[in-house]
Chain A
Amino acid sequence: MQALSIPKAIIDEMVAHAKGAYPKEACGILSGSGDAVEKLHRMRNADLSSTTYMMHPDEQLNVMRDIEKDGKKMLAIYHSHPASPAYPSQIDINRAFFPGTDYENFPGTAYVIIGLAEGGPEIKAFLLIGKAGIREITIVPV
């Protein structure tokens, strides 16, 4: 995946979700086909925290199953950084790998971060390349 195309309405919804959850972190899933996002799935942050998130486990399973049933793919996982830039933190990277392994939990799935720090919101998308590498990919608003 070189770029992620996201409908403008979905970008607006992500920002609204992030601002609405502020000062807590918001999280959700973007599904679609190829590199084109078609649907946003708002998720509850089970951590109810301003520095961490964990998707509510029941919602996560239901949404993942629904996406599969619809013949779509989980293209991206989004979350907000209420007070820091839109860049993956060490916690984001650590928790993107299966505990105790170097195996990515959801290979090929992008991470979209909405940063609400000074001057925000800024939205960026990344792919992980092993534990030491991050590659920013372009978000194409459509």
Chain B
Amino acid sequence: MAVKVKIPSPLQRLTEGKEEVEGKPGTVIGLLNDLEAKFPGIGERLSEGGKIRRFVNIYVNEEDIRFLKAEQTEVKDGDEVSIVPAIAGGCEPPREGVANLLFVENH
């Protein structure tokens, strides 16, 4: 039995279309490095310099690894690791010129 790794649809083109692949027990970062060896290109999409990228959520058995031991979270045979893109966005911050103008007007 290995670790079950659920791959999000934008990365399935790197896993030959597979929604689920097998991962290596150990730590999350070790598992990602092992995935990179099997599916070149996947590792750099998920982590940079040993850290998980900001808008990538990784869960071990439905627990967000940010609340566990992050990249060092342990994964065992039979565990399920889910990789899910964060849902995020935002609006443009006010332009500096506009902010300065408001500042001048208010003072």
Contact = CB atoms under 8 A, between A and B. Distances in A.
Interface of A: 25, 27, 29, 43, 47, 49, 51-55, 57-58, 60-62, 64-65, 77, 79, 81-84, 88-92, 95-101, 103-107, 111
Interface of B: 8-11, 13, 44-45, 53-57, 59, 62, 64, 66, 82, 84-94
The list of the 4 closest CB pairs from A to B, nearest first, reads: A52-B90, A103-B10, A92-B89, A105-B85
B10 A101 contact: yes
Contact of B57 (A60, A88, A103, A107): A60
Contacts of B93: 51
Given A54-B55, A105-B10, A98 B85 contact: yes
Contact of A95 (B8, B11, B66, B88): B88
7 contacts: A47-B88, A52-B91, A90-B92, A91-B91, A100-B53, A103-B10, A103-B11
Nearest to A96: B89
Interface centre among A47, A97, A105 (most CB of B within 10 A): A105
A57 B64 contact: yes
